[in-house]
């Protein structure tokens, strides 16, 4: 089975993705992660203005078969949460890198993130 791993994103070993534009970093979970979880039915997100430290469990993503925490890959302040997911969490399954994004942080990317090739090697 092959998973979608866009080249222009950064990744973590715990299967989050990050995209930076204009000083804002958008975060979600990877195609591999959504497939592992299966049908996602519930998402809990932090509020705008929350401060996250790297490693914090900032969101809960729950599928029919499992519940999983999502960890902050970098530190920063939450500038937006994708509240559309609260009513339509299946967007994470359908479009993990698009409509299925989780939140945006005001923060900086760090050197220890994986690029698409490194991440692809990890989930092989």
Least Cα distance to 44 among 15, 67, 12, 76 occurs for 67
Residue whose pair of structure tokens reads 């958008």 in the numeric block: 26
Stretch of 12-20, 35-43, 46-54, 72-80 contacting another protein, by CB under 8 A: 35-43
Our CB check for another protein shows the closer of 22 and 124 to be 124
Q: In what order do the strands lie in the sheet with 57-63?
A: 40-44, 57-63, 67-71
Is 3 strand, coil or helix?
coil
Among 42, 109, 110, 122, binds another protein (CB under 8 A): 42
Position 84 contacts another protein (CB under 8 A): no
Q: CA-to-CA distance for 98 and 106, rounded, in angstroms? A: 19
Cβ of residue 73: shortest distance to another protein, in angstroms? 22
Question: Which residue from 6, 53, 55, 64 is in contact with another protein, where contact means CB under 8 A?
Answer: 64
Give the footprint of another protein on this chain (CB under 8 A). Answer: 1, 38-39, 41-42, 60, 62, 64-65, 67, 86-87
């Amino acid at each position: 089975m092959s998973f979608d791993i866009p080249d222009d994103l950064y990744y973590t070993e715990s299967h989050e993705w990050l995209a930076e534009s204009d000083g804002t970093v958008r975060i979600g979970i990877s195609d591999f992660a959504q497939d592992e979880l299966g049908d996602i039915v519930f998402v809990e997100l932090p509020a705008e203005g929350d401060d996250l430290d790297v490693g914090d469990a900032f969101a809960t993503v729950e599928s029919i078969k499992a519940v999983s925490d999502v960890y902050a890959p970098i530190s920063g302040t939450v500038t937006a949460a994708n509240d559309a997911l609260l009513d339509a969490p299946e967007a994470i399954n359908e479009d993990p890198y698009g409509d299925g994004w989780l939140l945006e942080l005001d923060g900086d990317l760090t050197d220890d993130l994986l690029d698409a090739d490194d991440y692809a090697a990890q989930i092989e």
